């Protein structure tokens, strides 16, 4: 474990939270399923986005399937070339860093995909650590990803806040003992995120940035100074 457990930090999910990719992932999985002759409704696929393939596939079709995962990657690749970063996402990362927070990207994307997303976000000066799919055995809603992010950054659960866009982010954070802020930009509603256990809900990175000093991210940090 690196760093100091006396630090405070924020763990950011990436897909659907900082970059607008939730629906592109949904369409990519839909094509992959259709190729196999599997009729999985788009709504059900979208509700599973936020899980990694190891969790999403058993959730939707009852078993894992590496060929389907590869097909998803094939269909998602063109969308990756057109990634749109949510408004104010880079500024949010920098604002957290300026307020003394350790900033971690807690992603379950493949390394190459995450590298592309980081280039698009273009806030490397604000990012202290990052996780990728190869760093964990199980993806969200298992707590592995959150725990790995804590281990990499040297943060204690009580000293970190997760920011995500799905129920699965909130549940994974809770299992690791970390409070979670929900953003609605991935397609989940405010009440759904609160019912899952989100401590706060904001519309988007831009909305969270506008209210950053009122959020638990800063209030918890300042309380320890």
**Domain CATH for 38:** 1.10.150
**Is residue 104 domain-shared with residue 203, that is, in the same domain?**
yes
The vertex-202 CA angle with 197 and 208, nearest 5°, equals: 120
Q: What is the pLDDT of residue 219?
A: 82
pLDDT in tens, 172-186: 999 999 999 999 999
Give pLDDT tens digits for 50-74: 999 999 999 999 999 999 999 999 9
Q: How many domains does the chain have?
A: 2
Would the CA dihedral through 160, 22, 119, 183 be positive or negative? negative
- Does 15 share its domain with 113? yes
In a domain, 112, yes or no: yes
Q: Is 207 within the bounds of a domain?
A: yes
135: pLDDT strictly greater than 90: yes
Mark which of 80, 105, 123 sits at the end of a domain: 80
Q: Is residue 57 located within the same domain as residue 105?
A: no
What would the pLDDT profile of 102-123 be if each residue is shown by its tens digit?
999 999 898 999 999 999 999 9
Kindly state whether residue 1 falls inside one of the protein's structural domains: no
**Same domain flag for 108 and 209:** yes
Q: Are residues 49 and 131 in the same domain?
A: no
pLDDT tens-digit profile of 23-35? Answer: 999 999 999 999 9
pTM value?
0.94
189-222 pLDDT per residue, tens:
999 999 999 999 999 999 999 999 999 999 875 5
How many C-beta neighbours within 10 Å does residue 103 have?
A: 22
Residues 121/85, Cβ–Cβ less than 8 Å: yes
- Domain identity same for 119 and 34: no
Q: Given this model, what pLDDT does residue 66 score? A: 95
| Residue 10, beta-bridge partner list | 103, 161
Is the same domain home to 51 and 100?
Answer: no
Domain residues for the domain of 37 are: 22-80
Q: pLDDT band for position 5 (50/70/90)? A: very low
Under 8 Å between Cβ of 150 and 3: no
Are residues 102 and 58 part of one domain?
no
Whether residue 60 lies inside any domain: the answer is yes
Count of positions (residues) in the chain: 225
Is 2 part of any domain? no
| Mean pLDDT of the chain, nearest integer | 94
Do 62 and 94 share a domain, yes or no?
Answer: no
Q: CA nearest 89: which of 155, 35, 156, 21?
A: 21
Residues linked to residue 201 through DSSP beta bridges, in sequence order: 182
Query: Could you tell me if 81 and 112 are in contact, meaning their C-beta atoms sit under 8 angstroms apart?
Result: no
**Same domain, yes or no: 122 and 30:** no
Pick 110 or 3 by higher pLDDT: 110
Q: Are residues 202 and 121 in the same domain?
A: yes
Q: Does the pLDDT value for residue 224 go beyond 70?
A: no
115 and 187 belong to one structural domain:
yes
In a domain, 3, yes or no: no
Is residue 90 pLDDT above 50, yes or no? Answer: yes
Check which CATH number belongs to the domain holding 144 and give it: 3.40.50.1000
In whole angstroms, what is the distance from residue 15 CA to residue 26 CA?
12
For range 143-167, the mean pLDDT: 97
């Amino acid at each position: 474990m690196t760093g100091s457990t006396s630090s405070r930090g924020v763990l950011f999910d990436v897909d659907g939270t900082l970059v607008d990719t939730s629906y592109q992932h949904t369409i990519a999985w839909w094509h992959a399923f259709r190729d196999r002759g599997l009729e999985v409704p788009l709504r059900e696929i979208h509700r599973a986005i936020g899980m990694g393939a190891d969790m999403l596939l058993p959730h939707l079709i009852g078993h894992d399937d590496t060929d389907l995962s590869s097909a998803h990657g094939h269909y998602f690749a063109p969308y990756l070339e057109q990634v749109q970063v949510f408004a104010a996402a880079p500024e949010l990362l920098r604002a957290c860093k300026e307020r003394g927070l350790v900033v971690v990207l807690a992603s379950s994307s493949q390394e190459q995909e995450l590298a592309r997303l980081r280039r698009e976000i273009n806030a490397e000066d604000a990012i202290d650590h990052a996780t990728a799919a190869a760093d964990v055995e199980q993806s969200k809603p298992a707590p592995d990803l959150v725990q790995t992010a804590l281990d990499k950054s040297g943060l204690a659960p009580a000293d970190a806040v997760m920011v995500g866009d799905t129920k699965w982010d909130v549940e994974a954070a809770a299992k690791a003992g970390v409070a979670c802020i929900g953003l609605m930009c991935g397609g989940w509603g405010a009440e759904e995120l609160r019912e899952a256990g989100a401590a706060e809900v904001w519309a988007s990175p831009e909305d969270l940035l506008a209210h950053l000093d009122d959020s638990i991210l800063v209030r918890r940090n300042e309380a320890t100074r």
